[in-house]
């Protein structure tokens, strides 16, 4: 349907409309279009959130491309079933379904929804989904990346790695979306943290609390003679076979991207290995589990124990540029979309 027809439809049946970025086909960042679409209406268990900020993560890039193709079983085989991407949000509750008890109009909230739809002015989310009130000390931009990246870090370090005080942990990709939260959480939990990043990011990684930093552009950590309890590869630039040599007996290797090879190694190491490989897809955890991690992280953010690193903020109508930037693979921390602000 052409854009103006969408607007006319909204006017004709007298419903509210909102701005959103849609994609009708998988592809490059240029597939995005600014559209006027009907504002969603909350069902009895949902809240309507006026979105102030969303994010662009590696997961959004994969969903835009429709890769890996197995993901299309969920997204749509030939073209996307849900035309509005974006799963992380921070904003304000503006309407309530009749059964909603947890929130009230005007609450500042943040969270993440597997239903997508956050590259828009409004979204609906069940009050029992991954959504909570926003601490006063957090801006919408600092809050938006938490439900994806920070929860994933908690899932890997606390859930899979069972990180303990005094352990030695190596974080590969220390300057990225996951890595910046991982350094802070690992330090908070009392670990001795070594971050792996490039020379341009050394100061930032040290400022986040890393005890040691390895510049991957001139040093190979697998040859430095050090041994770690946990190796968390947030950016999938290493492999288990090489990292095993740098793990202590009983040590764990945590990659964030799941492949067939990794699943085989996981199975083999769980039966025979003294050094294990563990991984997980945070999005597949139960809502209860994700919400528990979310509330745990919220307390740390409120106490100032961890902070969100925001690299760049793009207005909603420059979503294509934000996707192009994230795709280049050099972001520092997180890339945020300011939904309330349209430029041009
Ligand atoms: N399993 C799950 O549930 C789950 C959940 C969320 C995300 N993920 C996955 O996690 C991955 C990482 O996401 P992210 O948002 O943290 O990545 P990101 O922020 O896009 O990563 C970019 C950062 O990685 C650094 N980097 C690039 N090559 C490196 C290397 N060889 N060694 C160390 N650092 C390097 C870059 O620094 P320079 O510019 O200095 O190179 C940059 O700061 C994605 O593949 C995503 O799919 C998985």
Q: Tens digit of pLDDT for each residue in 103-158?
A: 999 999 999 988 889 999 999 999 999 999 999 999 999 999 999 999 999 999 99
pLDDT for position 10: 44
Averaged pLDDT, 39-46: 96
pLDDT for position 73: 85
- 108 and 236 share a domain? no
Tell me: the pLDDT tens digits for 186-202? Answer: 999 999 999 999 999 99
Pocket test for ligand 1, best of 62, 112, 173 (most atoms within 8 A of CB): 173
From the CA of 28, how far away is ligand 1's center (Å)? 20
Averaged pLDDT, 158-178: 98
pLDDT for position 6: 52
pLDDT for position 12: 46
From the CA of 234, how far away is ligand 1's center (Å)? 5
Of 67, 63, 53, nearest to 84 (Cα)? 63
Using alpha carbons, list the distances in angstroms from residue 124 to 38, 42, 48, 328, 340: 12, 6, 5, 31, 16
Is the bond preceding 68 in cis, omega lying within 30 degrees of 0? yes
Residues 6+ apart with CB under 8 A from 103: 47, 93, 96, 109, 127, 131, 133
pLDDT for position 15: 59
Averaged pLDDT, 203-223: 97
Is the minimum distance from the CB of 201 to ligand 1 under 6 angstroms?
yes
pLDDT for position 344: 52
Give how many domains the chain has, as a whole number: 2
Tell me: the pLDDT tens digits for 249-296? Answer: 999 999 998 888 988 998 888 888 899 999 999 989 999 999 999 999
Is the minimum distance from the CB of 262 to ligand 1 under 6 angstroms?
no
Averaged pLDDT, 305-309: 97
Whether 330 is in a domain gets the answer yes
Pocket test for ligand 1, best of 60, 88, 243, 329 (most atoms within 8 A of CB): 329
- 54 and 88 share a domain? yes
More confident position, 75 or 290: 290
- 154 and 32 share a domain? no
pLDDT for position 74: 86
pLDDT at 308 over 90: yes
pLDDT for position 7: 47
Is the minimum distance from the CB of 170 to ligand 1 under 6 angstroms?
no
pLDDT for position 343: 58
Residues 6+ apart with CB under 8 A from 276: 251, 252, 253, 266, 269, 270
- 141 and 156 share a domain? no
pLDDT at 208 over 70: yes
pLDDT at 9 over 60: no
The rounded distance, in Å, linking the Cα atoms of 175 and 173 is 6
Count of Cβ atoms closer than 10 Å to residue 297 Cβ: 22
Going by their DSSP bridges, the two strands 108-112 and 130-133 should be labelled as antiparallel
Whether 300 is in a domain gets the answer no
- 242 and 210 share a domain? yes
Please report, for the domain that includes residue 22, its CATH number: 3.90.180.10
Is the minimum distance from the CB of 269 to ligand 1 under 6 angstroms?
no
More confident position, 16 or 311: 311
- 219 and 278 share a domain? yes
Is the minimum distance from the CB of 173 to ligand 1 under 6 angstroms?
yes
Pocket test for ligand 1, best of 67, 146, 176 (most atoms within 8 A of CB): 176
Of 261, 255, 308, 260, nearest to 281 (Cα)? 255
What does the mean pLDDT of the chain come to? Answer: 93
Of ligand 1's listed atoms, the one at least distance from the Cα of 334 is: 19
Residue nearest (by alpha carbon) to ligand 1 atom 5? 152
- 181 and 103 share a domain? no
From the CA of 58, how far away is ligand 1's center (Å)? 8
Pocket test for ligand 1, best of 234, 257, 290, 325 (most atoms within 8 A of CB): 234
- 125 and 11 share a domain? yes
Is the minimum distance from the CB of 335 to ligand 1 under 6 angstroms?
no
> Structural domain of residue 59, as residue ranges?
3-145+308-338
Least confident of 11-20, 162-171, 216-225: 11-20
Beta-bridge mates of residue 253 = 231, 277
Whether 280 is in a domain gets the answer yes
Of 90, 86, 147, 93, nearest to 120 (Cα)? 86
Whether 291 is in a domain gets the answer no
Q: What is the largest CA-CA distance in the chain?
A: 71
Percent of the chain's residues with pLDDT above 90: 85
Tell me: the pLDDT tens digits for 327-336? Answer: 999 999 999 9
Token pair, residue 56, equals 């662009």
Whether 302 is in a domain gets the answer no
Whether 47 is in a domain gets the answer yes
Residues 6+ apart with CB under 8 A from 10: 16, 17, 36, 37, 38
Residue nearest (by alpha carbon) to ligand 1 atom 41? 330
pLDDT for position 11: 46
């Amino acid at each position: 349907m052409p854009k103006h027809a969408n607007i006319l439809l909204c006017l004709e049946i007298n419903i509210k409309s909102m701005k959103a970025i849609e994609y009708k086909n998988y592809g490059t960042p240029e597939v995005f279009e600014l559209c006027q679409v009907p504002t969603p209406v909350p069902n009895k268990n949902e809240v309507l959130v006026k979105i102030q900020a969303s994010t662009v993560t590696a997961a959004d890039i994969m969903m835009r491309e429709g890769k890996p193709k197995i993901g299309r079983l969920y997204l749509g085989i030939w073209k996307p079933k849900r035309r509005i991407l974006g799963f992380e949000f921070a904003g304000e509750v503006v309407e309530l379904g009749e059964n909603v008890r947890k929130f009230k109009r005007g609450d500042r909230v943040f969270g993440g929804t597997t239903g997508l739809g956050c590259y828009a002015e409004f979204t609906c989310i069940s009050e029992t989904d991954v959504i909570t009130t926003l601490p006063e000390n957090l801006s919408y931009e600092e809050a938006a990346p938490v439900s994806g990246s920070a929860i994933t870090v908690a899932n890997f370090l606390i859930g899979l790695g069972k990180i303990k005080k005094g352990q030695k942990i190596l974080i590969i990709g220390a300057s990225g979306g996951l890595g910046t939260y991982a350094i802070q959480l690992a330090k908070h939990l009392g670990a001795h943290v070594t971050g792996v990043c490039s020379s341009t990011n050394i100061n930032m990684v040290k400022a986040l609390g890393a005890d040691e930093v390895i510049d991957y552009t001139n040093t190979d950590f697998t040859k430095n003679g050090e041994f770690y309890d946990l190796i968390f590869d947030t950016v999938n630039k290493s492999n288990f076979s090489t990292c095993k040599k740098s793990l202590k007996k009983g040590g764990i290797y945590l990659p964030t991207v799941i492949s067939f090879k990794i699943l085989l190694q996981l199975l083999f190491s769980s039966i025979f290995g003294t050094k294990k490989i563990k991984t997980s897809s945070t999005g597949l955890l139960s809502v209860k589990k994700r919400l528990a991690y979310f509330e745990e992280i919220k307390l740390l953010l409120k106490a100032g124990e961890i902070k969100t690193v925001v690299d760049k903020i793009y207005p909603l109508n420059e979503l294509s540029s934000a996707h192009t930037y994230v795709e280049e693979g050099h972001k520092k921390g997180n890339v945020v979309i300011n939904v309330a602000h349209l430029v041009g």
